[in-house]
A = this chain, B = another copy of it.
């Protein structure tokens, strides 16, 4: 497959892999998930956690000769992977691992490809060697024979009907002392010698765990990118419909295009601007991942960024679908017009590959600790040390001239947006650190302290994501050589920035950065920008270049010349 090394028959091109993912997301999300599970999760786990001895498996995964699934989540543990129950016990005598589900809740859950197609699974389990427990490791376990039946000791159940993604065979898997050879351990970060000696280049259990699950980063980049794709499809459909559909108007005149109503503009145009912003942010993320991987850099910062952008982009995809459905009225509800089908299928993207709420908090903890892996799992004293630094840091104030400005030029300007978004992020980081420190100093348990500021932690993570998304958009615009195109992109940038400021104006007002006059001016500017972007809306959705045969919605077919 495209992303795999050439030694396994791949093209060593992660960018090409994500491009396929991005494109499939315009078409059918069940197919997308089947593709992602087979080549991304299953193959990717072999690629990133395995070694040379697993190259043949990887090669066969890449040609789809070997179909696999990814069995990490359990019935009892979704987000908290470290506490999964499945065990893998080394039997030195036979040089085998024994995979076992000690309870009903230890069953692997929601594994795509498991219910019908996969013959092999990457299974995450607690490794026990002799008396010692070494935490979660991954194993290649055959689960189904060529006849399609579960192998002895393996029990598989279909997860049943879902609200969407009906083309994906999600399943549960339990193991009853299933034996696999020693080579089944994906042993890049830990190996067991024949006589039962455990060794790992990463001595810390916590660090090793996060290094292993860090390999999920590719999936999160892909899933976030799919969020941008569905937003593009939905906006293309809704805008094309809205510039053709007419309803109400001045008596005696043709009815008005619904795209000309202010509420239609204020609903669709900010989503369009954010879609463009995220288009650049996801590209930038992929490039950072490729660079870091190629240069052998530490991936923590990229992982944190991917976690935040996955959450932001999938929430954006979901919200955009929702708004577009409503803007298309009854026609939006017909499956033939695609938006409803996307809604049913896409809904779970905010949960899988990491629950969005959990991912945003992971990002904030990364920000607080300077992306040190050892602190990402509730090591509060570690976090505290860094929190102290943050808490003591003097946050730069907003330039009074800029904060008090009400003229359109300033309110739309890149410098103003960058400055204000940056100040907000720093201020939130600093105050969350201070509040955390206060609670820990007062003797509160780490979990409780963090829980009392959880709302704040989430806002902080999202503030960071908005700032980096905005920056990536600016960089993308700077790299654009066509002047006319740059001007249009800059209009979208202005709307994205003004919309961010407007959404957080309560915070800016509360903290004295804005006065009421600025806040009202920002809202007026927002309305003006929506109207201005609306004039370009038709061209801006055409630019997504989703072919008509792929977009396929009958309501999106517009006679030429409409705008």
This protein's copies in its complex: 2
Query: Given the interface contacts A160-B336, A325-B347, does A73 sit within 8 Å of B330 by beta carbon?
Result: yes
Chain B residues in 8 Å Cβ range of A392: none
Chain B residues in 8 Å Cβ range of A355: 329
**Residue pair A163, B447 in contact (C-beta under 8 Å):** no
Out of B335, B378, B455, B506, name the residue touching A162 (CB < 8 Å).
B335
**Residue pair A250, B446 in contact (C-beta under 8 Å):** yes
In chain A, residues 251-310, which have Cβ atoms closer than 8 Å to a Cβ of chain B? 251, 255-256, 260-263, 266
**Residue pair B251, A163 in contact (C-beta under 8 Å):** no
Contact with B along A412-454 (1 / 0, CB 8 A): 0000000000000000000000000000000001111001111
Chain B residues in 8 Å Cβ range of A155: none
Considering only CB atoms and an 8 Å cut-off, how many residues of chain A contact the other chain?
A: 68
Chain B residues in 8 Å Cβ range of A350: 326
Out of B261, B343, B357, B453, name the residue touching A454 (CB < 8 Å).
B261
Contact with B along A43-82 (1 / 0, CB 8 A): 0000000000000000000000000000001000111100
Bound: A399/B547 CA distance, A? 59
Chain B, residue nearest A451 (CB): B262
A344 → chain B closest CB, angstroms: 6
> Which residue among A325, A326, A350 has the maximum number of chain B CB atoms within 10 Å of its CB?
A326
Of A125-133, A189-197, A507-515, the one touching chain B: A507-515
**Residue pair B255, A163 in contact (C-beta under 8 Å):** no
Q: Does A110 contact B (CB under 8 A)?
A: yes
Bound: A159/B451 CA distance, A? 49
Q: Does A92 contact B (CB under 8 A)?
A: no
Bound: A512/B509 CA distance, A? 10
Given A261-B451, A326-B350, A326-B357, 7 other A-B residues pairs in contact with their CB atoms under 8 A = A79-B248, A162-B333, A250-B447, A251-B378, A262-B454, A263-B357, A263-B455
User: 20 A-B residue contacts at CB 8 Å?
Assistant: A78-B247, A78-B330, A80-B248, A80-B255, A109-B330, A110-B330, A160-B335, A163-B340, A164-B333, A262-B451, A262-B452, A263-B357, A263-B454, A325-B347, A326-B351, A329-B351, A330-B348, A330-B351, A506-B509, A511-B516
Interface residues of A (CB under 8 A from B): 73, 77-80, 83, 109-110, 159-164, 247-251, 255-256, 260-263, 266, 325-326, 329-330, 332-336, 340-341, 343-344, 347-348, 350-352, 355-357, 378, 445-448, 451-455, 458, 505-506, 509-512, 516, 519-520, 527
3 shortest interchain CB distances as A-B pairs? A163-B340, A506-B506, A262-B454
